[in-house]
Amino acid sequence: MQRSKINKKKLTEAIQKNIKMALQEDMGNIDLSAQLIEAKSSAKAYVKSKESALISGIPWFNATFLALDPKIKIKWFI
């Protein structure tokens, strides 16, 4: 069986479209975080698995958080 090559540009476009639609559905035009957190605030967060795991959806995870804040820094330690 021959593997298909993934068109990275089309995948990136599909991810961006998917993220935009999902955030629009969840949040509408309301920026809830802007109402809850001061603009100059910063924070750190960690997602940690205590057991071995197969991690999927990394491009969607990254794109979602970057859509919410383009200045965000994401580091993966896998």
How does pLDDT run across 19-39, given as a tens digit for each residue? Answer: 999 888 877 767 666 677 777
* DSSP for residue 51: S
Residue type, 43: A
The 10 Å Cβ neighbour count of residue 31 is 10
Q: pTM of whole model > 0.85?
A: no
Q: Which residues of the chain have pLDDT under 50?
A: none
* Tokens at 22, concatenated: 């999902």
Domain ranges, ordered by start, for the chain: 8-25+57-69
pLDDT computed for residue 57 by the predictor = 93
Number of residues that this document lists for the chain: 78
**CA gap 62, 73 in Å, rounded:** 9
CB 65 within 8 A of CB 72: yes
